[in-house]
């Protein structure tokens, strides 16, 4: 589409001049509307020096058809974050008329925190671009989760740097993620209930039978005379084996569902677990637990206990550590920190390998912390050990005494 404008050189009467000005104003409004909606490819202005053609960069019809048919928002920004171009999809995302979007600042659709996060990304966006997840402020006051892909564009005809953005609506993805997380949480709850049932059966059933075998084997050893040397030796070995088996079953039962956690609380459970680990593996463990004001929520206690279990399991299998430090602190949140002086590893490389084989321990710890609204952090350097930190916010009732 081309729009032609003529420059007038005559001087009509005031009434005619007023009418002509109104016509020109209407034509100017229509021209701006057509430019903003992408209907205009070029503007031709006719004057004394002949017609002059002004093309609109990026307004090629095929390009606009492609951009407008996208199911994602598309934007072109100036360096000062003014929106040069936006497609209809983005206007629908932010629930604003397109003419109110084009020419406005992109910052109007972001919170102060998201602006601060986005600012350095826009400054250092390289050829590969960058991505960020934000909450867009819509015109009706609602907020929409979105992912923004950023890529610098070539300078325009006025030597101005421009920025290209593709905005993806993450509402459905967030909803699916929340549903998956809720389902996973439910699976963990069922798993914990099953662990408790199995632990009770092991303790009340198998352990009792093994203890009976131990007593019978002891009675057999006692009844055999010294002259029955070989038989007595075998009976003693049987008694020793039965005793070790009973201890192992009791340990497994304790790990499945520690009764001390339910009865005495988190600190006692952490102390029992670290003591058992140190005695069994020979790795020195230092435990520093602040006095808790009251019992933590059951989910929080179980989460911290399971994370410690998994961390110590990793130390035993992989770290080759000689010392482990475990600390528990409480403020407006509860903090569990686990440090070892082992061989360490590269967390990024570990995450890349996770899909191939194993590597579910760290994922399990992270997911457990997320279930209770907490944060999971891990720092590790090859040859310099590993540090795990878990922060879980507490309800006001749990911190009232602070």
- Pair 348, 401 in one domain: yes
pLDDT at 315: 94
Q: Tell me, what CATH number does 133's domain have?
A: 3.30.450.20
- Residues 226, 165 contacting (CB under 8 angstroms): no
| Enclosing H/E stretch for 392 | strand 386-393
- Pair 252, 265 in one domain: no
- Residues 351, 366 contacting (CB under 8 angstroms): no
* pLDDT tens digits in sequence order for the chain, 402 residues long: 444 444 444 455 667 877 787 777 777 777 766 655 556 555 555 656 665 545 555 445 555 666 777 788 999 888 888 888 889 999 999 999 988 898 899 999 999 888 888 888 877 655 556 888 999 999 899 999 999 988 887 655 555 567 888 999 998 888 888 888 788 778 777 877 887 788 778 878 888 888 888 888 888 888 887 667 788 888 888 888 888 888 888 888 877 877 788 888 899 999 999 999 999 999 999 999 988 878 888 889 999 999 999 999 999 998 899 999 999 999 889 999 999 999 998 876 655 454 444 456 788 888 889 888 899 999 998 888 999 999 999 876 655 544
Pairing of strands 83-86, 73-78: antiparallel
Closest CA to 376 of 385, 364, 388: 388
- Spatial distance between the Cα atoms of 13 and 11, rounded to a whole number of angstroms: 7
- Pair 302, 394 in one domain: yes
- Pair 141, 193 in one domain: no
- Residues 95, 143 contacting (CB under 8 angstroms): no
- Pair 139, 8 in one domain: no
pLDDT at 3: 47
- Spatial distance between the Cα atoms of 59 and 65, rounded to a whole number of angstroms: 10
- Pair 29, 100 in one domain: no
- Pair 278, 402 in one domain: yes
Owner of token pair 């179980």 = 302
| Enclosing H/E stretch for 133 | strand 130-137
- Residues 97, 91 contacting (CB under 8 angstroms): yes
pLDDT at 187: 79
Domain end residue (candidates: 25, 40, 55): 55
- Pair 266, 391 in one domain: yes
Domain end residue (candidates: 230, 257, 284): 257
Cα 352 to the center of its chain, rounded Å: 16
DSSP H helical ranges for 148-297 = 171-201, 207-223, 229-256, 259-264, 266-281
- Pair 280, 373 in one domain: yes
CA angle 374, 327, 285 (to 5 degrees): 130
Domain end residue (candidates: 152, 169, 186): 169
- Pair 30, 126 in one domain: no
Distances (CA, A) of 312 to 181, 273, 360: 25, 9, 14
- Pair 91, 134 in one domain: yes
pLDDT at 106: 92
pLDDT at 110: 92
Q: Tell me, what CATH number does 312's domain have?
A: 3.30.565.10
Q: Which domain holds residue 231?
A: 174-257
pLDDT at 402: 47
Other beta carbons within 10 angstroms of residue 302's beta carbon come to 23
Angle between helices 266-281 and 298-314 (to 10 degrees): 10
pLDDT at 194: 83
Number of domains in the chain: 4
pLDDT at 78: 85
| Enclosing H/E stretch for 312 | helix 298-314
- Pair 236, 360 in one domain: no
pLDDT at 312: 94
pLDDT at 235: 84
Cα 59 to the center of its chain, rounded Å: 39
């Amino acid at each position: 589409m081309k729009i032609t404008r003529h420059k007038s050189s005559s001087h009509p009467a005031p009434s005619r001049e007023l009418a002509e000005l109104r016509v020109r104003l209407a034509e100017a409004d229509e021209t701006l509307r057509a430019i903003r909606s992408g209907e205009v490819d070029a503007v031709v202005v006719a004057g004394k020096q002949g017609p002059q053609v002004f093309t609109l960069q990026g307004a090629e019809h095929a390009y606009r058809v492609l951009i407008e048919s996208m199911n994602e928002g598309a934007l072109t920004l100036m360096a000062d974050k003014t929106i040069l171009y936006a497609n209809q999809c983005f206007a629908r995302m932010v629930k604003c008329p397109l003419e109110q979007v084009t020419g406005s600042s992109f910052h109007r659709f972001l919170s102060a925190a998201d602006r601060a996060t986005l600012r350095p990304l826009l400054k250092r966006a390289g050829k590969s671009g960058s991505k960020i997840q934000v909450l867009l402020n819509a015109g009706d006051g609602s907020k929409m989760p979105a992912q923004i892909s950023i890529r610098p564009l070539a300078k325009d005809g006025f030597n101005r740097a421009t920025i290209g953005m593709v905005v993806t609506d993450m509402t459905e993805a967030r909803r699916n993620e929340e549903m998956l997380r809720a389902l996973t949480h439910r699976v963990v709850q069922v798993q914990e209930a099953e662990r408790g049932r199995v632990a009770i059966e092991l303790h009340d059933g198998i352990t009792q039978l093994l203890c009976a075998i131990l007593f019978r084997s002891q009675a057999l050893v006692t009844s055999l005379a010294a002259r029955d040397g070989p038989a007595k030796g075998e009976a003693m070995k049987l008694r020793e084996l039965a005793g070790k088996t009973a201890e192992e079953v009791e340990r497994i039962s304790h790990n499945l569902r520690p009764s001390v956690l339910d009865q005495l609380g988190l600190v006692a459970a952490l102390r029992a677990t670290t003591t058992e680990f140190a005695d069994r593996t020979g790795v020195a463990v230092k435990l520093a637990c602040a006095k808790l004001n009251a019992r933590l929520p059951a989910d929080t206690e179980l989460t911290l206990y399971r994370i410690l279990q998994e961390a110590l399991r990793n130390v035993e299998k992989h770290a080759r550590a000689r010392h482990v430090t475990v600390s528990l602190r409480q403020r407006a949140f509860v903090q569990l920190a686990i440090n070892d002086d082992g061989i360490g590893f590269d967390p990024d490389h570990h995450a890349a390998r996770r899909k191939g084989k194993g590597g579910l321990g760290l994922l399990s710890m992270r997911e457990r912390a997320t279930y209770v609204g907490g944060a999971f952090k891990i720092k590790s350097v090859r040859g310099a050990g590993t540090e795990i930190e878990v922060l879980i916010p507490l309800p006001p009732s749990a911190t009232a005494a602070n």
